[in-house]
Amino acid sequence: MISIGAGATIAAVMRNTPVDQLETRMLLGHVTQLTRVQLITHAEHVLSAAEAEQLNSLFQRRIAGEPIAYLLGKREFFGLTFQVDPAVLIPRPDTELLVELALQHVPQQGRVLDMGTGSGAIAIAIAHTRGDTHVSALDVSASALLVAQNNAKTHQVDVEFLRSDWFAALDGQQFDLIVSNPPYIVAGDRHLSEGDLRFEPIDALTDHADGLSALRTISQLAAQHLSDEGWLLMEHGYDQAEAVRDLLTANDFTQVQSWCDLANIERVTGGKKSGTAK
């Protein structure tokens, strides 16, 4: 591959980049701490030896397939910038639908629980938008919780974080809304060995089974932690909406329905706790 040497200018790097031009600008900005506009107006900026070495390393990692979000250490989600690293999934635009629906369903001064929070993107986006809510977030991974806590500090929101294997550590706490983007990819799915997913935490992507085990557990136990008429909203795979609706119906949720993402794919399914919910 092309090696960027000390003394190369930004313009020369852009002409000879071994990766996508947009990604090159992002990596150059990361290395030089110049804004997108400054990269244009300072096109003759000469890279130092340290900058050239760092850029070459980033190029090599990107060519190997490592996600650009991990290389930059950040990703935009719901208008906010989140720290990400290989301990957490990279927040994706599809999941913004879950946040939008949560904001519609949480009552004033409501209590919200985000299950399997990862980077904290969902919980923090809700808390940042609705300062009247009390938001709790749990994850089984201590490393993920550390990332989430740092993100909460960055955005100056008050989120209560808890290490828990789903509902295990909740001690009977009640919420007006439970949201989750759990692992739902079927074990052995080819996508797990393609693209960015190769580098993301496997246990946050797949249940190592039929893709429904986490969704099944949440559906079965959520009502015990929901206030009367509280809502459960879950993100799921492109072909799982009907199965998730069946899970919610079987566990006595009412008003069960699915919502489509921008690609018109049923991406989130939810229901309301009934008086006889299990």
Per residue in 103-113, pLDDT (tens digit) is 999 999 999 99
Please answer whether residues 56 and 64 qualify as being in contact, where contact means their C-beta atoms are separated by less than 8 angstroms. no
3-state secondary structure of 77: strand
74-77 and 134-139 strand pairing? unpaired
Please answer whether residues 139 and 159 qualify as being in contact, where contact means their C-beta atoms are separated by less than 8 angstroms. no
Share of the chain above pLDDT 90, in %: 91
Return the H-helix or E-strand segment holding 188: none
- 36-40, 168-172, 232-236 — which one is most confidently predicted on average? 232-236
pLDDT at position 172 over 90: no
Please answer whether residues 161 and 181 qualify as being in contact, where contact means their C-beta atoms are separated by less than 8 angstroms. no
Phi/psi at 158 (5° precision): -100, 100
CB atoms within 10 A of CB 44: 9
pLDDT at position 278 over 60: no
Tell me the chain's radius of gyration from C-alpha atoms: 21
Mean pLDDT, all residues of the chain: 94
Mean predicted confidence (pLDDT) in 109-123: 98
Would you state the structure tokens that stand for residue 190, as one six-digit string?
Answer: 């080819």
3-state class percentages of the chain: helix first, strand second, coil last, to nearest 5: 40, 20, 35
The pLDDT of residue 2 = 58
The pLDDT of residue 6 = 73
Please answer whether residues 196 and 185 qualify as being in contact, where contact means their C-beta atoms are separated by less than 8 angstroms. no
pTM of the model: 0.92
Sequence letter at residue 98: L
For 245-270, what is each residue's pLDDT tens digit? 999 999 999 999 999 999 999 999 99
